[in-house]
Amino acid sequence: MIEIAKESINGKTGLIGLLGSPVNHSLSPVIHNAALTALNLNWRYLAFPCNADDLELALKGLRRINCKGLNITIPHKNNALKLCDKIDQLAQEIGAVNTLIPGINNSWDGTNTDVKGFLAPLKEYQKLTGKAAVIIGSGGSAKAVVHALNLLNISEITIITRKKNSLEEFLKNINNVNNLSCNFHGLIADNSSIRDHINHADLIVNTTPVGMNGRSDSNNNTIPLGTKNWESLTPNTILYDLIYTPKPTEWLQLGVKYKCHIIDGLEMLIQQGAASLSLWSGIKEIPIKIMRKAAENSLNSKQVK
């Protein structure tokens, strides 16, 4: 039974939230609480910073206090899957979860709404069938992106990541998934052929946190793979950054310079969040326009400051 909100917060207020590290930048509380207010639900959405060593304890504790649902973000999407009692087929194939739903006996059931969220802003690009894509990163979001691109009938995907063992594990997991028709290549970030793959790609997706509010990689780059690898970008290439702060990111600013199509991660955040909220609440019609407006207002207010 869903409690209808009569006051801002009371003794019956339900809890939903986000687990990850970092989470202080996240707009998820903004968009979800806007939707909860519009739906008149007596729930509140909070962001919980959580280190990897504390993930299992945090999940157990939140379930014990009757948390109504959780989103999972960097860097826990892979490990959270292992802590679920049940996972659906999509999450199992991806090997990562971003949404947890209360299960029986104080357990969590896992699923993944990232695929749906990722695809939403690509609907206007109808001619990706048979094209080539590059994915930067090999975490849980990258796994979801692979499945999304497979649905778009992308024919060739190149995975670029910094660590050899991460790349090998990623490709091993992908090769064990049924119904993937893409051809895969894997490259370490210092490989000399990276530019060739970038120049050949019709769609390039950054799934790493590099560039998020100035966050840098181990080489102090605030642009994924460093600036030089993007100096010969082909016009009309689609650059899709799963990051949405700052808006636009430095990488997407480069895309504008080279006359590329650019997409940030805001619409993906909204769409995957709406799908999660629908699963938790059982409500099919989630006020996506209100969520989008709340996100845009929040971003605009930060830029003004």
Report pLDDT digits (tens) over 272-302. Answer: 999 999 999 999 999 999 999 999 999 988 7
Question: Taking the domains of the chain in order of start, what are their residue ranges?
Answer: 14-112+269-304, 116-264
Enter the pTM of the model.
0.91
Cβ neighbours around 206 below 10 Å, total: 28
* pLDDT confidence bin for 215, thresholds 50/70/90: confident
| Distance of alpha carbon 94 from alpha carbon 90, whole angstroms | 6
And the tokens for 177?
Answer: 């998934």
| Distance of alpha carbon 97 from alpha carbon 112, whole angstroms | 5
- Give the DSSP per-residue string, 185-204: EEEETT-TTHHHHHHH-SEE
Contacts of 193 (CB under 8 A, 6+ apart): 187
14 pLDDT higher than 90: yes
| Backbone phi and psi for residue 157, each to the nearest 5 degrees, phi listed first | -130, 130
pLDDT, position 213 = 76
pLDDT, position 124 = 84
Active-site entry in 77, 86, 247, 293: 77
User: Fold identical between 14-112+269-304 and 116-264?
Assistant: yes
257 pLDDT higher than 60: yes
Q: What burial letters (b/e) apply to 267-304, b meaning 16+ CB within 10 Å?
A: bbbbbbbbbbbebbbeeeebbbeebbebbbebbeeeee
- Mapped onto helix, strand or coil, the DSSP state of residue 90 is helix
Architecture per CATH, 14-112+269-304: 3-Layer(aba) Sandwich (3.40)
- For the segment 171-208, what is each residue's pLDDT rounded down to a tens digit? 888 876 767 888 999 999 988 899 999 999 999 999 99
Architecture per CATH, 116-264: 3-Layer(aba) Sandwich (3.40)
Q: Is 86 a catalytic residue?
A: no
